[in-house]
Amino acid sequence: MRVPLFLTWPRWLQPLSFAFVSAITLGPVVLLKDRSLLANPSFVNHERIHFRQQLELLFLPFFLWYVLEFLLRLTYHRNFHTAYRHICFEREAYAHQDDPHYLQNRKPFSFLAYLFANRKKRLPKGPSPV
């Protein structure tokens, strides 16, 4: 079995999801809204980076940290999308999602470099919030 395991998002969960969420990595399982996302190597690599981050923090601390950091950044930025894109886990994943060899060369706890790094230099490019 290749880790993580990619599964389609259950229909009963779709009403509970946010519009911008196309997938969520929960330990060794990635729930996808659309199976066609698997054709995008950057997307798959992004989710695999999140899996590695979760392994390093033993899963539960990862989720607690993720939510806490999001809430702190939301308080600071006052914008949902901007707060999400500034979470250190997301910054690392977006910065390296196009590098197919990143996980082979990645040092443990690399996300820490994105916690206090200069946001303007390292903030991944993406669509501006609406």
Structure tokens at 60: 């539960």
Asked, for residue 1, whether it belongs to a domain, the answer is no
Asked, for residue 89, whether it belongs to a domain, the answer is yes
| Owning domain of residue 48 | 39-122
d(Cα 111, Cα 99) in Å, to the nearest integer? Answer: 16
Asked, for residue 104, whether it belongs to a domain, the answer is yes
**58-73: burial string, b at 16+ Cβ within 10 Å, e else:** eeeebeebbeebbeeb
Asked, for residue 70, whether it belongs to a domain, the answer is yes
Least confident span in 2-6, 23-27, 87-91: 2-6
Q: Report the mean per-residue pLDDT for the chain.
A: 87
pTM, whole model, 2 decimals? Answer: 0.85
Count how many domains the chain has: 1
Q: Which has more pLDDT, 103 or 119?
A: 103
